[in-house]
Structure 1
Amino acid sequence: MQSWGPGRHFSSGRHTSTSARRTGRRLPGTPDRFRPHLLVVLVAVLALISAATIYATIQARDPVFAEPPAPAATSATAAGAAPTVPSPPPPAPVPTPSATAVVPPTPAIGPALDEEINDVIQSNSAYRVGVALVDVADGAVHEYGAKNKFVAASTAKILAAASYYHLVETGKASLGARMGASTSGQQIRQMVQQSNNDSWALIMAAIGARALTNYAATLDIPYDRSVNSLTPAEMAKTLTELYSGRLLNAENTRQLLSYMQKTNFETLIPAAVPPGVTVFHKYGLLNGYLHDSSILVRGDKAYVFVVYTQGRGLSDMAARTRIIHQLTTTVAAGLF
Structure 2
Amino acid sequence: MMPANDSNNSTGPVPKPEPAPRHYRSGGHRANDGSRPGPRSLARRAGRTRRQYLTAAAVALALVAAGVYAGVQAALPVDPPAAAATPTAPVTDAGRTVPPASDLPATASPTTASPAAGAVSAAAGKPAEIPAVPAVAVPAIDPELDSQINGIIAANSAYALGVSLIDVSDGVVHGYGIQDKFVAASTAKILAASAYYHLVETGRASLTAPMGNSTAGTQIRRMVQQSNNDSWALILRAVGARGITDYAASIGITYDRTVNLLTPTEMARTLQLLYTGQLLNARNTAQLLSYMQNTNFETLIPPAVPPGVGVHHKYGLLFGNLHDAAVLDKDGRAFVFVVYTRGRNYSDMGPRTQIIQQLTRTVTAALF
TM above 0.5, one fold?
yes
Q: Secondary structure at the match of 2:339?
A: strand
Q: Distance in 2 between matches of 1:84 and 1:106?
A: 39
- Higher relative CO (Cα under 8 Å, sequence separation at least 6) belongs to 1
Percent of residue pairs identical: 58
Q: Does 1:154 align with 2:186?
A: yes
- Partner residue in 2 for 1:136: 168
Distance 1:6 1:268 in 2: 129
1:40 aligned partner? none
1-structure distance, mates of 2:32, 2:332: 118
Within 5 Å, give how 1:42-191 maps onto structure 2.
56=64, 59=67, 67=74, 86-87=119-120, 108-191=140-223
For residues 172 and 64 of structure 1, do their structure 2 counterparts lie closer, same or farther at Cα, with a shift above 3 Å needed?
Answer: same
The alignment yields a C-alpha RMSD, in angstroms, of: 3.6
- Computing the radius of gyration from Cα coordinates, the structure with the larger value is 1
For residues 178 and 312 of structure 1, what CA distance do their matches in structure 2 show? Answer: 40
Offset of residue 140 of structure 1? 2.3
In structure 2, the residue matched to 1:323 is 355
Q: Distance in 2 between matches of 1:267 and 1:214?
A: 33
- Once residues 54 and 106 of structure 1 are traced to their aligned partners in structure 2, the CA distance between those partners, rounded to angstroms, is 70
In the alignment, which of 336, 342, 362 is matched to residue 310 of structure 1? 342
1:214 matched to 2:270? The reply is: no
Q: Could you tell me the TM-score, scaled by structure 1's length?
A: 0.73
Provide Cα deviations, 1:53-101, integer angstroms capped at 9, x if missing partner: 89749938x9756556989xxxxxxxxxx85994569xxxxxxxxxxxx
Letter matched to residue 245 of structure 1 = G
- After superposition, the Cα gap between the structure-2 partners of 1:190 and 1:15, relative to the gap in structure 1 and judged at 3 Å, is same
> Is 1:262 matched with 2:279?
no
Q: Does the C-alpha gap of structure 1 residues 83 and 180 become closer, same or farther in structure 2, counting only changes over 3 Å?
A: same
Q: Of 315, 318, 328, which residue of structure 2 is paired with 1:283? A: 315
Contact 1:17 1:27 in 2 (8 A): no
Q: What's the counterpart of residue 34 of structure 2?
A: 16
After TM superposition, give the deviation of residue 335 of structure 1 in Å.
2.0
Partners of 2:28 and 2:166 in 1: CA distance? 126
Relative to the length of structure 2, the TM-score reads: 0.67
For each residue in 1:97-140, what CA deviation from the matched residue of structure 2 results, as whole angstroms up to 9, or x when unmatched?
xxxxxx9x998223222221111112112222111111222222
**How many pairs were matched up?**
286
Change (3 A) 1:59 1:294: same
The answer as to whether partners of 1:309 and 1:320 remain within 8 angstroms in 2 is yes
Q: Give the direction of change, closer, same or farther, for the CA distance of 1:17–1:194 in structure 2 (3 Å limit).
A: same
Structure 1 unaligned blocks of 5 or more: 21-25, 32-44, 72-81, 90-102
